[in-house]
């Protein structure tokens, strides 16, 4: 299934946020479903999200991408943390309706992954077997620190971190020891990749090749933990 044939879905978050949209890619041969949240600056139809969903479908991994309410309303400022976390929970609940007997995983790009991890740390996400982060935002640009990752110890699920070595939002000197302290975490570093896995020309690897690499790593990890 390509992203062009994805099924439009909608689900209710709360009275204030209302209803948000989602896109379900569910290959007929799917072996698992990943609930995939977007980053702060671009929604579920961003090229990165489209490509990840399409490539995961080729690996028989279904995806449910969804909008946070602020993105649904086409505003630039993200919702409050409370609303973001409620949206994650609503998305997982909606995914369960589509998953059937497929094992469910959750995560996302940058902020979407972090909000998913916060939701899971505060209260278990029903039915979710593991979390996948495409560029975990450990700190703001130019302000290295590990405070944003302290809650990860409370998640209690297997976690996969896919991280570029040049990621300005995650100093590996901070992220590596943090992941080492987590009993069920795996960190896979893309040498030369930035926060969005864009590569330097000197790396002799294209963005497309790297995207194939991280999607295959994610698919392998999901299959192992499914």
Reported as a single tens digit per residue, the pLDDT across 156-182 is 999 999 999 999 999 999 999 999 999
**For residue range 183-217, what is the model confidence (pLDDT) as tens digits?**
899 999 999 999 999 998 888 889 999 999 999 99
Other Cβ atoms less than 10 A from the Cβ of 129: the count is: 15
Which residues on adjacent β-strands are paired with residue 131? 106, 159
Q: What's the pTM?
A: 0.95
Other Cβ atoms less than 10 A from the Cβ of 81: the count is: 11
CATH architecture of the domain with residue range 3-225: 3-Layer(aba) Sandwich (3.40)
Per-state percent for the chain, helix, strand, coil, to nearest 5: 40, 25, 35
Domain boundaries, the chain: 3-225
Residue 7 sits at φ, ψ, to 5 deg, of -90, 130
**For residue range 28-78, what is the model confidence (pLDDT) as tens digits?**
999 999 999 999 999 999 999 999 999 999 999 999 999 999 999 999 999
Distance CA 26, CA 36 (A): 13
pLDDT score for 1: 44
Tell me the torsion sign for CA atoms 25, 31, 32, 38.
Answer: negative
């Amino acid at each position: 299934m390509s992203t062009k044939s994805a099924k439009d879905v909608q689900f209710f978050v709360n009275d204030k946020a209302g209803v948000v949209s989602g896109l379900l890619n569910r290959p007929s041969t799917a072996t698992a479903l990943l609930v995939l949240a977007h980053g702060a600056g671009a929604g579920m139809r961003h090229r990165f999200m489209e490509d990840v969903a399409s490539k995961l479908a080729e690996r028989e991994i279904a995806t449910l991408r969804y909008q946070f309410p602020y993105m649904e309303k086409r505003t630039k400022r993200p919702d409050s943390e409370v609303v973001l976390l409620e949206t994650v929970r609503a998305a997982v609940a909606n995914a369960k309706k589509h998953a059937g007997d497929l094992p469910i995983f959750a995560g996302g790009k940058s902020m979407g992954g972090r909000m998913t991890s916060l939701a899971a740390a505060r209260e278990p996400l029903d039915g979710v077997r593991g979390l996948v982060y495409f560029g975990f935002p450990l700190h703001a640009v130019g302000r290295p620190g590990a405070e944003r990752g302290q809650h990860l110890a409370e998640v209690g699920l297997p976690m996969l971190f896919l991280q570029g070595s040049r990621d300005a939002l995650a100093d590996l000197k901070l992220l590596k020891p943090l992941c080492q302290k987590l009993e069920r975490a795996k960190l896979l570093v893309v040498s030369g990749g930035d926060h969005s896995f864009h590569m330097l020309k000197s790396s002799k690897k294209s963005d497309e090749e790297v995207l194939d690499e991280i999607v295959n790593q994610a698919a392998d990890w999901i299959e192992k933990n499914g």
